[in-house]
Amino acid sequence: MLYRTLIRRYGPIEPEALIKVLCPLHVPLVELDKGIFKVPGQSHWRASFTAEINAETHSALAVSATGKFVPAAHARGEAPWKELAKGRVVGLDVARGIAHGEIYVGAASKASLASALEELTEEDYLEIDQFGSSAKVLSALTESTLATMLEDQGFQVQRMPEDTAAHLGTYANYDFEVSLDGVKKKVEVKSLWGTDTRRARLIHSTGRDYPTSSCKFATQDFFAVSMFLKTGSLNDWAFARSVPEDVRPYGLPRSRNYPDHVNQNPACSPGDGHWFSSLREVWELD
């Protein structure tokens, strides 16, 4: 019944096709070379790996393809998702059945890569989202999880439309209208910054009202940031009041050049005085 529901829109497709689209490919590693080096002209330090080209992986292992190294225990279904490091294919040796690649992390420091390499082993996998859909599914699942969680906590939740016809009003620029005891407030859903998961990614498309890619403080009442990239759990969140920190001590830093906009990569850790673990904790903050 569940599978029939999942494919109802698409017709009679095989389960393998659905898995290929929804689930990132786990590419086996052949060897790790943890000697750290720097590519001329690049700021980040690198190490090297080789991965196996086989009947399942050959179509995804093109030069410049990128992915994330994940623990073997996660690939076996025994542990939550976790990013150990990042990987990029830099060359192919089809005759030997291997792909050459570089290992790197979001931070530019040599120490950050060295720390990641201490945890990474040849038993782990390079995870490649070969059709670009798993990231979109993750985004949708985080929003769905948040909506359900807030409803279970007594809030009423209205998902805002992805677009608004001109004759029906203006685009909302935030994701949810959330109500409690007759009070309605606006919530914008964001994620951690994949390059540095110590920070949130508070970005917005540039346009007529957005001269910079940082969110405006006035657009929403709260930011809700999914902590999945750090914890591997859809149930972990950080909430902050959308107000400048020079106006309220629990607020967020301003963008340096656009003071009406929030710094787009602020530090994000629930309990630090700016970010909180639940919406109720910040609901009454003015």
> Which pLDDT score, from 0 to 100, does residue 19 have?
86
Distance set, CA 279 to CA 111, 147, 187, 244 (Å): 36, 12, 10, 18
Contact 45/85 with Cβ under 8 angstroms?
no
Average pLDDT over residues 36-51: 89
163 — pLDDT class (breaks 50, 70, 90): confident
Residues whose CB is less than 8 angstroms from the CB of residue 140 and which lie 6 or more positions away in sequence, other chains included: none
Residue 254 has pLDDT above 80, yes or no: yes
Q: What local confidence, expressed as pLDDT, does residue 129 receive? A: 93
Split at pLDDT 50, 70, 90, the class of 117 is very high
Contact 25, 130 (CB under 8 A): yes
pLDDT over 80 (residue 115): yes
Name the 3-class secondary structure at 7.
Answer: helix
Per-residue pLDDT of 224-253, as tens digits, reads 999 999 999 999 999 999 999 999 999 999
pLDDT > 90? residue 179: yes
pLDDT of residue 39: 82
pLDDT band at 194 (very low <50, low <70, confident <90, very high): confident
Please tell me the distance from the alpha carbon of residue 212 to that of residue 257, in angstroms, as a whole number. 9
Residues of the chain with CATH 3.40.1350: 134-283
User: Which residues, in sequence order, are CB contacts of 248 under 8 Å at separation 6+?
Assistant: 241, 285, 286
Angstrom distances, CA of residue 208 to CA of 190, 203, 213:
22, 15, 12
Nearest to 116 by CA among 80, 77, 86: 86
DSSP code for 261: B
Reference 189, options 211, 163, 157; nearest CA is: 157
**Confidence at 164, pLDDT banded by 50, 70, 90:** confident
pLDDT at 242: 97
Q: What is the mean pLDDT of residues 273-277?
A: 97
d(CA 35, CA 180): 55
Task: Give the confidence band of 83 by pLDDT, cuts at 50, 70, 90.
Answer: very high
Are the C-beta atoms of residues 269 and 198 closer than 8 Å to each other? yes
Identify the CATH number of the domain defined by range 134-283: 3.40.1350
Instruction: Decide if pLDDT at 134 tops 90.
Output: no
β-pair partners for 180: 183
The CA distance from 42 to 45, in Å, is 8
pLDDT, averaged across the chain? 92
